[in-house]
Every structure is written in C-alpha cells, then in structure tokens.
Chains A and B, each alone.
Chain A
Amino acid sequence: MTRDPRALTLRVITCLGGFYFFLYFVTPESLIEQSGVKHAHEAISNGFIAVGSMAIGLGIINILMSHGMRVVFVKKGWQYSVALIVGMFLMIGVTIAQWRTTHGLSDDIKKVQVIGDFAGRIVEDAKAEPGKHRSYAPHGTLPPLRDRVAALEQYAQATLDGNAHSEVAAAGAETDQSLEQLRSEYAQGVTALRQVLEQLQGRSWESLDTDGEAVLTSILQQAARVGSTYAIVKRNESSSWLSSRLYDFLYNGLFNHLGASMFALLGVYIAAAAYRAFRIQSVESALMMTAALIVMLGQISFGKMLYSEMPAIRQWLLEVPNSAAFRAIRLGAGVAGLMLAIRMWLSIESAKRGGKES
C-alpha cells in the first residue's frame, strides 16, 4: 500500500473507473439492456466527457501564464504574445456573442416546431393502445383529449402572437428580394396555420374521429412549413448582425483559411521529403524508390502505356505487402497499448516511478 493519500485516492479512483468500464465491456449487450444499465452508462460517459472538457481551462491558464509573463517582462517576441492574447479574448468574446444569438434563435424556432410535434403526438397517443402512449404522464394516464387540444390551441396562438413572430410578419419592404419573399411566405403560412387552428373550435374532442385527425395532421404539416420558413428568415437576418459577421470573419474567413494554408504547405513538404527519400543510398532506399515509382506509374495513364500490367502491380503492392505491414504495425501497437492500459488500470508501477511503495 502507498502512504501518500493523494496517490492512493488517484489509484483507487483509476481502479474503480477502469473496473466499471471493464465490467461494461465484458457483459453481453443483451444483459446490459435487460438490466437497464445502458441509460445510466450514457450518463456516466457524458460525465467523463464533462470532466475532460474542464481541462480546456488548463490550456487557457497556461497560455495566459506563459505569454502574460512574456508581455509583463517585455521578453523577446512579446509583441506576438500580445497578438495571441488579444486574439484569444476577441475570439472568446465573439464566440460567446454568436452563441447567445444562435441560442435565442434556436429557442424561437423550436417553439414553432413544438406546435407540430404536439399535434402529431396527440394523434399518436389517441391511436395508441391504452397505457402504451409515448408521451410522459406523471400519474400513468394522460389528460383527456379535449384538454390536450385546448392546450395545443392556446400554446399555438400564444406562440404566433409572440414578439419574434409578429416582427417577422410585420417587417417592411426589404432591399433583399429573396428575404422579402421568404417573409411573405412566412406570413401566408402563419395565416394558413391560424385558419387550421380555428377548426379546432366547435368540435367535441371526446374521441379522435377521422375529421379531427385530419385537422391535427394538417396543423402538424402547416406548423412544420411555418417553422422551416421562420428558421430560414431568422438565419438570413442574423447573418447581417455584427456578432455573426465578426464571427464569420474571424472563424470562417481567417482561422479556417490559415488552417488551409498550413495544410497546403504539405504539398511542398511532400516533394522535399520525397526528394530526400528517393536518393538511393542503401538497399532499403532503393526498394522504397522502386515501390514508390511503381505506385506512381500505376496511378497514371503513362504507366499503363509503358506496361499494361502496371496498375495491377500497383494494386498488388498496396493491397498485399503494404496492408500486411500496416496490419503488423497496428497489431503490435494494439497489443502494447492493451498491456499498458492494464498496467495503468491496476496502477502497477515500480517504486522509482512515482509508486512510492512501502
């Protein structure tokens, strides 16, 4: 046993965590499903992801510490550190602003989509066998159909009368014709949806008959149409907002393109590396050169012109010796990884590597 309580705690947690995942792995899937552990497992796995994501804070702290020190003590290259820190905070700020706007937007879009989902669920539950409905019922039984339809109507009217939807419908003439057309489509859709909602009134709704089902299905379809048009209108509108434009400029315009530029460097580097590798200095490099030449010639029509079997030889090289080597490397690394994983799980360390065995 180790005497260091911190190390002991870490070992116990590692061992228990490993044991849980080991048990989950070796238990047959049918048994897992029968016992109902699957849902709990998803929650536990998400918990691990959440713990892992906390580590991003460590990265930010490290950047602030190392580059902050460089700026404070005006070390060599401090200007780059300033650019990095400013860039980081700018990106964080813009991303938060963008997230807030898209989050609000998604909520608005979801509200309209719920109208259709609710109508669809009412039909589904009414047609289901008793006790087999999909909707959640706290006491096992769902409210009567009449109450559910009334709730649907009330929710739909309140949503369509809400600020966000009124704004879209009442917006004035736009310079962007496509946006204007979308708005007009949205207004027409809302009018049609209101008309269908009116049909909910004046019915008994004691049970679901064919006409009632047709009305609810029509609400489902109309709400889906309105929801998708609303989503397009709002997304088009939001693209002109400052936060979206800044995010678009920084992320899509700058960051992605810089990444693509780095990737493009690979083309140059592959040529430089190939030049070095193709200098025949030994038997191995001669073999490598020959294999590369065959693969390259087999890839192009010129190779086929030289020798008609060239593509077949290329294919054989890739599928047989190359695949065999890949599999051998993967097998070796996989077995080594497995053994090391077992050692990590059981915290088997010698005293000189942090084991502090007593």
Chain B
Amino acid sequence: MNGLEHATPTVIVLLVVALGLLYREFIRIQRGFHHTIRRIPGVDAIEGAVGRCAEQGRAVSFTTALTDVGPVLYACLGVLQSVAKKVAQYKLKLLVPQYSPEAMAVVEDSVREAYSDAGKASLYDPESIMFLSSEQFAFASGYMGLMHREKPGAALLFGSFAAESLVLSEAGQQVGARQVAASVSPEQVAFFICTCDYTLIGEELFGASAYLGRDPVQVATVAAQDRFKLLLVLLIVIGVVSATFVSLVPSMAWFRPLDLLSVGWEALVP
C-alpha cells in the first residue's frame, strides 16, 4: 500500500474481511481446532544448523539486518526466540549483530526471555546482542569482521535486506557456516539462493515463526493470512477472466466487475 495515505472504500472492506478472518481463526483455536503447517525444508534446516554448531562447539549467528521495528521484525523474533532457546539448551554462543538501535532493544528483550524460558537465564550474555552501525555498509563490514573473528557454525539471516545481502551471506560462506536466509525483499532472494544452503522466500519467513514455535496464535494468524490470500487470488482470477473476455468480445466492454473495487470516496460522499 505504498503511497496510499487514506483507505478507499474497497480497502476498508478488505481490512474488515482480514479482521473477520483473524477473529474466526482465533475462535476456532479457542474451541480446540488444530491447524497443521506443512514442512518447510529451510525451517527444518535451522534446527539442523544449530545442532551442527553444538557438535562442533561453534557459535550461532542470527541477524535481522536492516529490519526496523514492524511486522517483519516481529516475525523474525519468533524464529530468534526458538533459536535462542536451543542455543541456551546446548550452551552455545549466540551472536546477534544489530543495525537498528530501536530493533535492538526489542531483540535484547526477546533473547533474554528465550533464555529464561529455556531455564538458562544465567547463561544469557548481554554482549551477544551487539550494535554495529546504522549505516548500511558500515554494518556489512562489521558483520564480515564478526564472522571472520568468531567463525560461527550457523549464520541465520532473517528480515529485510538490501544491497548488503550478498556481502553478509558471502562472509558466512567464507567461514564455512551453514546458512539459512529468509527475506521479504524479492530482489535479494536470488543472492541468497546462490550463497545460502536454504532460503525462505517472502511469506515463508512469517510461517517459519509459527512452524518453529508451534504457537496456536501464530498458527491461527498463518491460517487467516492463507484464507485472505486465497480471496485476493480469486479477485485476480476474476480480473484476468473478465479482461480476457472483454478483449475477445468487444461489445461487452461494459463488463468490468473489478471496476467496483476502484470506486473512490467521491462516489459515495457527496
């Protein structure tokens, strides 16, 4: 919704539908309904990578890169908490280099909570969450230095990335870390596919958190988003079919059902 400062009537309807779907899924969960999430090899690889670090006694690195406070960070935190719990159980070293000071405060809290949940609160090291820089390439060079000094066995790259993505993932490659990346930036996915062992694409990042945590509320959110996405796909199909039909039968040019979606306030508010 870039550039949309105020919702059109259609957007409001879609928002209400989204809220309704979420509500429905939460009610179903309260009534004891269980959803299943399909296996994602990349998510299974996270546990494998942490296990490998335990065998080799190497550190685990997790970065949220350029992610600022928002839904993407929130999704990353679910994965980070799950990783931090495993790290705490195996008594490994955790490295969480940070780009955004605002996100760092939230990340710090989440990691501390994960250690505490794992019953290893005393093992929590505040130095494991380190602020590098809020300048893109200064952060990238700091991350590279960290990788070469600490030589972690697993490097997990989750969140929003830009041009520095390849620098980060190549640094992990150079030290032989098993790498799992998840990005909502489609431009960076290709780089991750080339350099990482596993790559989660787009919304898989959001699913990973629910899959790892097995948290019913998160699973319900994934179910609601799937249903909402289905609705959008249906609208796209209607649009494609109607546009194709009109191009084949020009006399039916008036048949544009999706034009209703672009009705503005001026048509409703006098």
The reply on B229 being an interface residue by CB < 8 A is yes
Q: Which 3 A-B pairs have the closest CB atoms?
A: A59-B101, A332-B203, A336-B206
User: Which of chain A's residues have a CB closer than 8 A to the CB of B130?
Assistant: 62, 66
A26 & B163 in contact (Cβ 8 Å cutoff): no
Q: Which of A27, A62, A266, A328 contacts B131 (CB 8 A)?
A: A62
CA–CA, A38 and B210, complex, Å: 39
With both chains docked as a complex, state the minimum distance between the C-beta of A26 and any C-beta of chain B, in angstroms.
Answer: 5
With both chains docked as a complex, state the minimum distance between the C-beta of A304 and any C-beta of chain B, in angstroms.
Answer: 25
Since A25-B6, A354-B113 are in contact, a sample of 6 more A-B pairs with Cβ atoms closer than 8 Å, ordered by chain A residue number, is A26-B12, A63-B131, A66-B131, A329-B184, A333-B184, A342-B18
Q: Which of B7, B105, B135, B215 contacts A259 (CB 8 A)?
A: B135
CA–CA, A59 and B101, complex, Å: 5
Interface size on A, residues (CB 8 A): 61
A336 & B225 in contact (Cβ 8 Å cutoff): yes
With both chains docked as a complex, state the minimum distance between the C-beta of B157 and any C-beta of chain A, in angstroms.
Answer: 14
> Which of A50-58, A111-119, A135-143, A159-167 is the interface stretch?
A50-58
A59 & B191 in contact (Cβ 8 Å cutoff): no
> Which of B43-51, B136-144, B255-263 is the interface stretch?
B136-144
Encoded as 1 (CB less than 8 Å from any B CB) or 0, chain A from 223 to 267 comes to 000000000000000000000000000000001001100110110
User: Which of chain A's residues have a CB closer than 8 A to the CB of B207?
Assistant: 336
With both chains docked as a complex, state the minimum distance between the C-beta of A178 and any C-beta of chain B, in angstroms.
Answer: 34
A27 & B6 in contact (Cβ 8 Å cutoff): yes
The reply on B252 being an interface residue by CB < 8 A is no
Nearest B residue to A57 via CB reads B101
A339 & B217 in contact (Cβ 8 Å cutoff): no
The reply on A309 being an interface residue by CB < 8 A is no
A65 & B170 in contact (Cβ 8 Å cutoff): no
CA–CA, A69 and B130, complex, Å: 13
B166 & A269 in contact (Cβ 8 Å cutoff): yes
List 20 A-B residue pairs with CB atoms under 8 Å apart, sorted by A's residue number.
A28-B265, A52-B102, A58-B105, A66-B130, A255-B138, A258-B137, A258-B141, A262-B167, A273-B195, A330-B186, A333-B206, A334-B1, A335-B225, A335-B232, A336-B206, A337-B72, A343-B221, A350-B218, A352-B215, A353-B217
Chain A interface, DSSP helix/strand/loop, else mixed: helix
Q: Which of B1, B26, B138, B225 gathers the greatest number of chain A CB atoms within 10 Å? A: B225
CA–CA, A77 and B148, complex, Å: 13
The reply on B65 being an interface residue by CB < 8 A is no
The reply on B31 being an interface residue by CB < 8 A is no
User: Which of chain A's residues have a CB closer than 8 A to the CB of B232?
Assistant: 331, 335
User: Which of chain A's residues have a CB closer than 8 A to the CB of B140?
Assistant: 262
Q: How many A-B residue pairs have CB under 8 A?
A: 172
CA–CA, A245 and B18, complex, Å: 56
With both chains docked as a complex, state the minimum distance between the C-beta of B233 and any C-beta of chain A, in angstroms.
Answer: 8
User: Which of chain A's residues have a CB closer than 8 A to the CB of B186?
Assistant: 325-326, 329-330
A30 and B170 contact, Cβ closer than 8 Å, known pairs A25-B6, A273-B195, A335-B225? no
B229 & A332 in contact (Cβ 8 Å cutoff): yes
CA–CA, A211 and B149, complex, Å: 77
B6 & A32 in contact (Cβ 8 Å cutoff): yes
CA–CA, A59 and B132, complex, Å: 8
A55 & B105 in contact (Cβ 8 Å cutoff): yes
With both chains docked as a complex, state the minimum distance between the C-beta of B102 and any C-beta of chain A, in angstroms.
Answer: 4
User: Which of chain A's residues have a CB closer than 8 A to the CB of B12?
Assistant: 26
B26 & A30 in contact (Cβ 8 Å cutoff): no
With both chains docked as a complex, state the minimum distance between the C-beta of B84 and any C-beta of chain A, in angstroms.
Answer: 13
The reply on B213 being an interface residue by CB < 8 A is yes
CA–CA, A349 and B222, complex, Å: 14
With both chains docked as a complex, state the minimum distance between the C-beta of A66 and any C-beta of chain B, in angstroms.
Answer: 5
A337 and B184 contact, Cβ closer than 8 Å, known pairs A66-B127, A259-B135, A262-B167? yes
B15 & A26 in contact (Cβ 8 Å cutoff): yes
Nearest A residue to B141 via CB reads A262
A339 and B224 contact, Cβ closer than 8 Å, known pairs A273-B194, A332-B202, A353-B213? yes
B1-32 residues with Cβ-Cβ distance < 8 A to A are 1, 5-7, 12, 15, 18-19, 22, 26
Encoded as 1 (CB less than 8 Å from any A CB) or 0, chain B from 86 to 115 comes to 000000000000101110110000000100
Nearest B residue to A288 via CB reads B193
The reply on A277 being an interface residue by CB < 8 A is yes
User: Which of chain A's residues have a CB closer than 8 A to the CB of B18?
Assistant: 338-339, 342
The reply on B269 being an interface residue by CB < 8 A is yes
CA–CA, A216 and B149, complex, Å: 68
A66-108 residues with Cβ-Cβ distance < 8 A to B are 66, 69, 77
User: Which of chain A's residues have a CB closer than 8 A to the CB of B81?
Assistant: 353
B64-85 residues with Cβ-Cβ distance < 8 A to A are 70-72, 74-75, 81
CA–CA, A62 and B126, complex, Å: 9
B193 & A277 in contact (Cβ 8 Å cutoff): yes
User: Which of chain A's residues have a CB closer than 8 A to the CB of B247?
Assistant: none
B219-259 residues with Cβ-Cβ distance < 8 A to A are 221-222, 224-225, 228-229, 232
CA–CA, A77 and B47, complex, Å: 31
User: Which of chain A's residues have a CB closer than 8 A to the CB of B141?
Assistant: 258, 262
Q: Which of B225, B265, B269 contacts A339 (CB 8 A)?
A: B225
B161-215 residues with Cβ-Cβ distance < 8 A to A are 163-164, 166-167, 170, 184, 186, 189, 191, 193-195, 201-203, 205-207, 213, 215
Q: Which of A265, A342, A348 contacts B167 (CB 8 A)?
A: A265
A340 and B71 contact, Cβ closer than 8 Å, known pairs A25-B6, A269-B166? yes
With both chains docked as a complex, state the minimum distance between the C-beta of A251 and any C-beta of chain B, in angstroms.
Answer: 11
User: Which of chain A's residues have a CB closer than 8 A to the CB of B216?
Assistant: 350
